[in-house]
Structure formats: C-alpha cells, structure tokens
Structure 1
Amino acid sequence: MRPPPLRPGYALAAAAIFAVEVLIALFVRDRFVRPYLGDVLAVVLVYAGLRAITPLRVVPAALAALGVAFAVELGQLAGLVHLLGLGSSPVARTVLGTGFDPADLLAYTAGAGIVVVAEHLRGVTAREGSRAAP
C-alpha cells in the first residue's frame, strides 16, 4: 500500500497556522483572540495537517478536525491533564487545556464551517477533495 502524497500547500498552511497559534499562546492575553479565535484556528490547523498527510477529503477532514477539538475539550471537562499527571507541565496545560468552556465548542464548530466554506470558495469540491474542473 502506497502512502498518500504530501500536499505541500496544506503542509505550509498548517505550519503557518501553528506559528500563529504559538504566538497567540505566548503573547496574547485577552478575552477574544486567545480563547475564541485561537480555538477557531486550532480546528483549521488540524484540518490543514490532515489534508497535508492523508487522503481525507474536505468534509471528512473537517469533521475529523472537529472531532479532535471536541475530544480535547471533553478531556478538559474530565481533567485529563491532571489524570495524566501533567498538571505541572506548561506545554501540556497549553496544548490540552485545563478548563472546559461550552463556548469553545461553538468556536470549534465555526472553525470547521470556515474551512468547508473556504474550500468551496477556492473551488475544492467536498466530495473529490480537489479543485473542481473549470
């Protein structure tokens, strides 16, 4: 079985979004960008990463990214960072989070919706996962 081809555009997008997320985590302390825009971008990051390295198409990749985000948020509700004994790790606390917020689920859903709409506007079809024929 052949591995799926790397999609460099998505890989570059994922790297750029990751850099933005790191900058937000390190330097932004507000009540909108870090908690909500950061969550929207987190789903876009996972989506771009999935599209870069898997054959997943637009909607399955968006749903998978949304599933990852929901799983992380539900892990926060369950206190996963502490259950794993990582409560003193700043990296684990930042990546996995420590506080459940139902509004985050809306931000994640918005992120998934944004990628589906953006791909549609770019001409990437939901079924084929590639550019629509001209």
Structure 2
Amino acid sequence: MTLQLKFDYKNFLIAIFIFLVEVLIATKLKDIFFVRAYLGDVFVVMLMYYFIKAFFEINPTKLIIGVFIFSCLIEFAQYFHFGELMGFKDNRVMMIILGNSFSWGDILFYFVGCLILFLLSKINI
C-alpha cells in the first residue's frame, strides 16, 4: 500500500471545523459532562480522519480502522500514565492531548465516531 500525497480542501475545511468544535467543547462546554467526556471522543476520531484525508489519498475503511487502533493505543497508554512518564505532568496542553485517565467509555465513543465515519464514507462525505 502506497500513500498518495494529495491536498484536499474539503477535508481540510472539515478538519478545521471539527477542531473548532473540539476547542469549543474544551473551553465553553466543559461543564456539560456528556459533551466534554463523550461527544469530544466522537469528534476527535473524526478530526484525525479528516485531517489525514486532507493530505493523503487513502482507503477510507483502512484509515478508519487505523484511527480507531491509534485512539485505543492512546487510551491504553493513559492507563499506564504515559503522559506523566514522558515528563508532561506539568504541561497542561500535552496532558489534554494525551489524556490522563483510562476509560472503556472513551473507547466505546471512539468506536461510535468511527462507525459514523464509516457510514459517512459509504455516502462519500
């Protein structure tokens, strides 16, 4: 499998929009538990997917599976306090990116986000 480098404005704009939604969730909607804890997890896999699709021509299903596996690896790394082990304990931004607590619920919502992406890919969005 070879990756073709190809810039796609549509996917890039979708990624920017989702990033702005994530920032809104993290800053303004942070007190609404369901939104911050779970909806953000649905959107983060979508953000990764569309950002990668903005620069590479890649099979959507393979990318969705890759994004899900990557998300799970990051989640499992949280179980072992990877961010702290890497020296990021006092770096608020890195701890937000890496997370700091393992949750099976997060994995469930990564899966939900990937399922939505799979359905959207079937209708070519």
**TM-score, normalised relative to structure 1:** 0.85
Q: Where does the alignment leave 5 or more consecutive residues of structure 2 unmatched?
A: none
Q: Percent identity?
A: 28
Residue 15 of structure 1 aligns with which residue?
Answer: 16
SS for the counterpart of 1:44 is: helix
Q: Would you say how many aligned residue pairs link Structure 1 and Structure 2?
A: 123
Q: 1:99 to 1:63 in 2, by over 3 A?
A: same
> Residues 73-120 of structure 1, C-alpha deviation per residue, up to 9 Å, x if partnerless?
111111011001101111011111101111110000010010110121
User: Do residues 24 (structure 1) and 29 (structure 2) align?
Assistant: no
The RMSD of aligned alpha carbons is 1.7
Residue 49 of structure 1 aligns with which residue?
Answer: 51
Residue 127 of structure 1 aligns with which residue?
Answer: none
Which runs of structure 1 show a deviation greater than 2 angstroms over 4 or more consecutive aligned residues? none
Q: 1:54 to 1:87 in 2, by over 3 A?
A: same
Alpha-carbon distance in structure 2 between the residues aligned to 1:108 and 1:2: 24
Residue 62 of structure 1 aligns with which residue?
Answer: 64
Residue 91 of structure 1 aligns with which residue?
Answer: 93
**TM-score, normalised relative to structure 2:** 0.91
Residue 121 of structure 2 aligns with which residue?
Answer: 119
Alpha-carbon distance in structure 2 between the residues aligned to 1:118 and 1:3: 22
Alpha-carbon distance in structure 1 between the residues aligned to 2:32 and 2:95: 18
SS for the counterpart of 1:46 is: helix
Q: Where does the alignment leave 5 or more consecutive residues of structure 1 unmatched?
A: 125-134
